[in-house]
Amino acid sequence: MKRIPMLTTVAGVACMTFALAAGAQTTTTAPAAAPSGSSESVGQHVDDTTITTKVKTELLTAKNVKSEHIHVKTRKGVVSLTGTVPSAEDRDNARQVVEGVSGVSSVKNHLKVVAAQ
């Protein structure tokens, strides 16, 4: 009975080793890249993800922004804000908050003002 779990473990380790070896062969011949269709590197993608996380955190903790319906995307340090806010003041405050986040090179503010119902 103990042989089946052990064989499963050995097979799993062998598969992982093969997958890692195959991955290592492909990365030594070509530079690391983000998913296909993208011209950004993996490092840039990670940086953009970090910036997006920081921006979302700042927006959620900002007392002067109602951010429940704000969506954030980052590409090469440029942060795009989409969604809705209840006032023009919230839209402007969101921009100011995002501009204060380290790593943000510019902000594209596409927030729409929609009165709360």
Q: Which CATH number characterizes residue 106's domain?
A: 3.30.1340
> What's the rounded Cα separation, in Å, for the pair 110 and 113?
10
Instruction: Give the model's pLDDT for residue 58.
Output: 94
Do 40 and 94 fall within a single domain? Answer: yes
Do 73 and 102 fall within a single domain? Answer: yes
Instruction: Give the model's pLDDT for residue 26.
Output: 38
Do 23 and 47 fall within a single domain? Answer: no
Do 96 and 64 fall within a single domain? Answer: yes
Range of the domain at 17: 1-30
Instruction: Give the model's pLDDT for residue 71.
Output: 96
Helix pair 88-99, 42-61: axis angle to 10 deg: 130
Task: State yes or no: pLDDT of 43 exceeds 90.
Answer: no
pTM for this prediction: 0.62
Do 15 and 42 fall within a single domain? Answer: no
Do 54 and 81 fall within a single domain? Answer: yes
User: Shortest CA distance to 104 belongs to which of 113, 114, 94?
Assistant: 94
Q: Which residues contact 113 (CB under 8 A, 6 or more apart)?
A: 84, 85, 86, 87, 88, 90, 91
